[in-house]
Structure 1
Amino acid sequence: MLPATTDNPAPDRLPGMADAQVRPATPADADEIARIQVQTWQTAFESLLPTDVLAGLDPAEAAEQWRQTMAQGPATVFVAQEGPWVVGFCSVGPSPESESAAANDLPAEDAATVALVSLLLVEPRWGRRGHAGRLLATAAAELRGAGCTRGIAWVPERNAASVGFFRRVGWEPDGVVRTLDAGGRPLREVRVTGTLELELA
């Protein structure tokens, strides 16, 4: 288990909203992104993924993968900051045709302009402060500029918080589901889709 604090730890009592922003990630953010990914999965997904899978997550390995992603693409990574702290991140990019295909595996008519939100995480202690919405809205603007017309994301069916978040921004399940092998335990995911015309409330 990772320690609860970092070199720039969040305060025990969170302050009022201050200097919240979203910016493109840099390789220097990779360690914090990996820490947030591992800690958030270990906290929020403990009922969805096997204990040994969660315990085996390696922050150093994840950080190296994020550095490669930022250097090589095709995904673009954004981080949310509040004051000096990185509190969440989002990885987006053009969707592979297989990700946007219909349930019968036929390509979507608009496959060439579909974007994939591959990961959107906010560290739980920084939740309910608007960071996820800012991340998605900023990423959506970037994707529109790149010619994308709608977005998709895969969400664990039993993760009510994530499904609810996407519903609140207007993204709805489109009827396509998939089941992944999560360390010997099936993980059922639903695909949500919606507009990239998102604005901050």
Structure 2
Amino acid sequence: MALGSTPAAAAAACTAGKGPYQKQVEKFLGRPVDGKQSSADCKAIRSFQTKHGIAPASGFAGTLTWQAMDTMLQQKAAGKTPNKAGKCPVNKGRIACVDLTRQLSWIQDGKKLVYGPVPVRTGKKGTETRTGARKIYWRNIDHVSSIYKVKMPYAQFFDGGQAFHSVTKSMWNPPGSAGCVNMRPAEAKAYWKLLKKGDDVYVYGQKPGT
């Protein structure tokens, strides 16, 4: 059963029709690539949607579903050379890089990759993660947002109220954060250990859909 699904949902017939990204989604999921929506295709797509909080989890191969999959493919392609294009500065010493386009972050020291890359979940349309050169100016391991009243473990602030911090939801859960750079718990903890107040942060690119 897919993560977060209920017995009733799992048992329900999957009847969504063919989506605009049918072939791409079929290929991603390892299904027969024929561009035709079968019941098995529908269930596989719905399982993916349920796991990553893509609503409605109907089994339809729509824009949000393919956007999440395409981002995953770009992240995989980055491998251990996320800064191959040289877009994150290599003359700053230790720096945390955030690529909004690929929804990736890593820590480098000059040209040396120190940690990552790891998938992140950045700001949604209207509350985009701001681009540019910043520095970590405040850290709070047990921070709670005064605005949203939610826990932000391992929070490291680098631009106004925007920070690296841990969340438990999927990194591919749309539409995105309120501006922070969300990370999985183990990775946010690693960032906490590797970074300190005054370290550089560089954010660039544009998140798909913003």
Coarse TM-score class (shorter-chain normalised)? under 0.3
Instruction: Considering fraction of residues, name the structure with more strand.
Output: 1
Instruction: Considering fraction of residues, name the structure with more helix.
Output: 1
TM-score, length-normalised on structure 1?
0.28
TM-score, length-normalised on structure 2?
0.27
